[in-house]
Structure formats: C-alpha cells, structure tokens
Amino acid sequence: MQTDATIIAQCTPSGSGAIALLRLSGADAIIIVDRFSKLTQGQTLKAQASHTVHYGQIIDQDKQVVDQVMFIVMIAPKTFTGENVVEITCHNNPFIIEKIIGLAIFHGARLAHKGEFAQRSFLNNKIDLVQAEAINSLIHAHTEQAMQKSLSQLKGSLTNWSQQIEQSLYKCLALSEASFEFIDEEMDFGPQIRTELEQVITQIKLAQQSYGIQQQIKDGVRIAIIGTVNAGKSALFNALLKRERAIVTPIAGTTRDSIEAGIYTNQHYLTLVDTAGLRQTDDYVEQIGIERSMAEAHQADLILLVFDTSRMVTPAELAIYQEIMTKYQDKIILVGNKCDQIIKLELPDQFKNLNLVSAQGLNGLTELEALVLGRIKQLLETDSSPFLLNQRQFNILSTVASNCQQILTMITNPEYELISLHLNEILQILSALTGQSITEQGLETIFREFCVGK
C-alpha cells in the first residue's frame, strides 16, 4: 500500500443528515485543500496554526461555490495518523460530498482504503495493533458493556496485560541463558522457569475462559424461540419485538425457516430468532426448517422453550422437549404460551416451572422480559476482563500457551540452549499481538475489516 500519498474519505455514515465530515491525511493534505478552498479572511489553510477551526468555501474548477464549510487544520505529528490532517465539515448532501471528494482527487489526493487512517496511525507509532482493533470494536459495539471494554482496550488494558506476559517470558529467557552460562557452577534455574511459565499459562487461560461470553458482550445475546408447531412462537416473537415481523396464522407449520431480528433494550443488544415448529413430518422442506431450529438451539445464548398451554402435549412432542432440555438445560427459560386459554397440563417435574404468558393478549410479557434481562445480566457479569479478545488475539495467546506447555515438558532434563531458542520463538509470536512483528499481508487482512472512514 502506498502510504506517502494524501488520502481522503467520508468519515460519517452515508444517508440523510445535517452535516458530513470528510478527512484528508498526508504530507500534502493542507496544500491540496488550499487548491480548492477559500477562507473568509482571504488567508490560506497553510498559514493557520495547528488545531484551529476556520470557516470558508469549497470552490470548483469553474470558480463556482460548491458549499460553505468548516475546516479543521491539524499539523503533524500531533494528529491521529501522525500526518497532516484536514477535516472538512460540509452539508450532508451526496452531490456535495461527491464533488468535494472529486476535487480533492483532482488536486492530488486519492480515496482511502478500508481502515487506512488507523493503519497509518499504527505505522506511525501512534497506536499499537491491539488499540487499532479496539477502535474498530468501539465503532461496532452493540452494547454499552462492549463500548466500555473497547475504550479500556484503546487506553491500553490488553497491551499492558500482554506486556506483563512478555516480561515473564523475558525473565524465563534470562534464567535459561544464565543456567547454561553457569553450568559449571551447577546453578539450575529450572524450578523458577517452571513457576514463571505456569503463571503465564494460568493468566492466558483466565483471559480465554470467558471468550464465549466476551463475544456475547461484543455481538449481543442470541435468543432462540423453540417449541412445537402452533405453540405461538411467532406471536411471542412479534410481541417481544413490539412489531409484526413474523407471519402468524392458526395453521400449524406456518413458519418453515428461522427468522431473526435485533433489538436494543436496557443497554443490551438482543437477536431474537423465531424457528420452525418441532414435530415429526414427512414434508422435506419442513424437515429442513426443523433441523435449522435444532441448530439455532445449539447456537443460542438463551432459549425460550415454548409450550402451548391450551392443549395437552403429545408423547412425541414431550420427547422432543426432553431432548432439548437435557442438552441445553442451563440456557433454557420455560414459557407457557396462550395462558388465557390454559388447561390443566400434565408435565414432568422438569417442566413445572412455566412462565405463563399470552403473546396475543400481551399478558405476562413484562415479567418474561424482566426474567430474560436478569438471565442476561447474570450471563454477562461473569466476565471481569477489562478487554475483549478477538479471534486473532485468541489464536495468538493459544499458540503462546501451547508452546509454554511444551517447554514445561523439557525442564525435567533441561537443555537450556534449546529452551532459550523456544522462548525466543514464543516472544516473537507474542509480539504479533501488538503488531511488533507482523507481515504486511497480515496487516492488510486486519485493516480490511475496518470501515473506510477509519
């Protein structure tokens, strides 16, 4: 990637709104903007002090005014990217935005690639790779908890933690090298190396053990509504969403495929999934839907297992419910729907604690929602980590822990030259976490996940 060019991108979302923000970054950013702008006082942006705001106009090649805008001038190195930066706040009209970007390109800039601003910040040592990834996580945070953890990570929580791991590994390396340097004095630091490595492995396992919960914090909680045909799952789905999203009819088997929708509630992002009704069937299409329902039960963080309380449950249906209950008991909330038409159900003890609702009459929904939010709170509060690991970071830490475990098997009859070699390899692997050692291709892969304006 060419990093000496001046780049431009829209940093605010496309669509209707009062204003939009365009950012240019590069050595020639200020000079380029001066070529198609005019300040009200008649001066140039180049003559202005850093970190100042100025009112002016965008002028096209025909000397026509494109828009009245605000310019923010920031001079390197005290900028996010470490380069000269100009931010242009214009009216949020797609024609105006396109015209300004076109003028910038005409006068020497180019369009930014995805994540290129953050990538330049990393390359100019303004942030490390973990902090760059935290910015992306912050932008896409679906919950307040994810936002807070991303902010903590941006301030260096994961970087500081990894530095402590690194220091322990360097201590092991120093002890290992001391052991073969002073072999004649019969000084053996093997027990100390073992203690340090065991502590490193423990710290990594502690950070990783809540990885699944961290993904729920990051992406939101997935709630599958599971039950037999005509149990009122779609009606409950609509009632919880507070809008008509799924088709509801009295005909059994109306829902043939999984339908999902997301909602924000009480600082949480929830994905509700309406599923096909469970029953024995010879219909090929319906059978596929049922298989997907079982898959959703497996993937879900919580399951609303719905009973139709207006009729008796058949032995075949009960067998399906018992199978689900056996597999996923810890994440199930039992729901008895159609409580306004309830009959006396004869259910095994494991299903006695039904939360009665009427999705059509909206009875009991407030209590059910409170119960769901309570379970979510319990679920997410088990994670006390100040950071959120992504898959790349998780994999690096797994490799570090595995290699440390391998060294532990070597300490009984130690060859310290070999142990030192392995420790150096582990330190090299760990350094990829913050980007101290990572390939150009690896960087491209990471920053490709970012939005263009960041």
150-188 tens-digit pLDDT: 788 788 888 899 999 999 999 988 888 887 666 555 567
Give mean pLDDT, residues 239-246.
Answer: 72
From 127, 146, 180, the end of a domain falls on: 127
pLDDT of residue 110: 95
Residue 185, in any domain of the structure:
yes
In a domain, 311, yes or no: yes
What confidence score (pLDDT) does residue 290 get?
64
In a domain, 441, yes or no: no
Name the pTM for this structure: 0.66
**Scanning the structure block, which residue is given the tokens 């495929």?**
257
The span from the CA of 224 to the CA of 233, in Å, is 10
Same domain for 366 and 294, yes or no, is yes
For 7, 14, 101, 258, the CA distances from 95, given in Å and listed in that order, are 20, 12, 10, 40
Q: pLDDT higher for 310 or 22?
A: 22
Query: Do you find a cis peptide bond into 77, omega within 30 degrees of 0?
Result: yes
**Is the per-residue pLDDT at 144 higher than 80?**
no
Kindly state whether residues 368 and 405 are assigned to the same domain: no
Q: Check whether 386 has a pLDDT greater than 80.
A: no
Percent of the chain with pLDDT over 70: 83
pLDDT > 90? residue 60 = yes
In terms of domains, do 264 and 361 share one? yes
Mark whether 122 and 139 lie in a shared domain: no
Give the pLDDT confidence score for residue 407 in this predicted structure: 92
In-domain check, residue 171: yes
Q: CATH number for the domain including 16?
A: 3.30.1360.120
- pLDDT one-digit tens code per residue, 245-293: 544 444 444 444 568 887 877 677 788 888 877 755 555 555 666 677 7
Tokens describing residue 392: 């790349």
The better pLDDT of the pair 188, 358 is held by: 358
User: Are 119 and 142 in a shared domain?
Assistant: no
How high is the pLDDT of residue 319? 85
Residues 255 and 360 in one domain: yes
- pLDDT of res. 54: 96
pLDDT at residue 284 in the model:
53
91/98 Cα distance (integer angstroms): 12
**pLDDT at 185 (0 to 100):** 56
CATH number of domain containing 173: 1.20.120.430
Question: Which helix (H) or strand (E) segment is 96 a member of?
Answer: helix 94-106
Task: Report how many domains make up the chain.
Answer: 3
Query: Of 365, 381, 397, which one is at a domain's C-terminal end?
Result: 381
67-100 residue pLDDT tens? 999 999 999 999 999 999 999 999 999 999 999 9
- Reply yes or no on whether the pLDDT at 50 is more than 80: yes
Question: Quick one: which of 2, 5, 4, 7 has its CA closest to 117?
Answer: 7
Give per-residue pLDDT as tens, 403-448. Answer: 999 999 888 777 888 988 999 999 999 998 888 766 666 666 666 6
Better-predicted residue by pLDDT, 315 or 149 = 315
pLDDT at 3 over 50: yes
Same domain, 171 and 255: no
Alpha-carbon distance of 313 to 328, in angstroms, equals 20
Q: Which residue has the higher pLDDT, 176 or 189?
A: 176
Is residue 425 assigned to a domain? yes
Task: Find out whether 113 and 453 touch, Cβ atoms under 8 Å.
Answer: no
Q: State the helix-helix crossing angle for 157-181 and 144-154, rounded to 10 degrees.
A: 50
DSSP secondary structure letters along 331-358: GEEEEEE-GGG-------GGG---EE-B
Q: What 3-state DSSP class applies to 272?
A: strand
Q: Which of 348, 363, 381 finishes a domain?
A: 381
What mean pLDDT is reported for the chain?
83
Determine the pLDDT at residue 253. Answer: 45
What is the pLDDT at residue 37? 96
Cα 146 to Cα 264: distance, rounded to the nearest angstrom: 13
CB 24 within 8 A of CB 86: yes
pLDDT of residue 247: 46
Q: Rounded mean pLDDT of 17-29? A: 94
Q: What is the pLDDT of residue 13?
A: 84
Residue scoring higher pLDDT (441 or 123): 123
Domain membership of residue 101 as a residue range: 7-127
Does the residue 447 lie in any domain?
no
Residue 2 lies inside a defined structural domain of this protein:
no
Terminal C-alpha separation, the chain? 16
Domain check: are 99 and 13 in the same one? yes
- For 295-302, what is the mean pLDDT? 85
**Are 121 and 199 in a shared domain?**
no
394 and 364 co-located in one domain = no
Kindly state whether residue 443 falls inside one of the protein's structural domains: no
Q: Distance between CA 104 and CA 106 in Å, rounded?
A: 5
Structure tokens at 70: 């605000």
Q: State which H helix or E strand residue 322 sits in.
A: helix 315-328
Alpha-helix runs per DSSP H in 65-113: 94-106
Which tokens belong to 62?
């025909």
Are both 242 and 146 inside the same structural domain?
no
CATH assignment at residue 317: 3.40.50.300
Same domain, 285 and 372: yes
In whole angstroms, what is the distance from residue 374 CA to residue 372 CA? Answer: 5
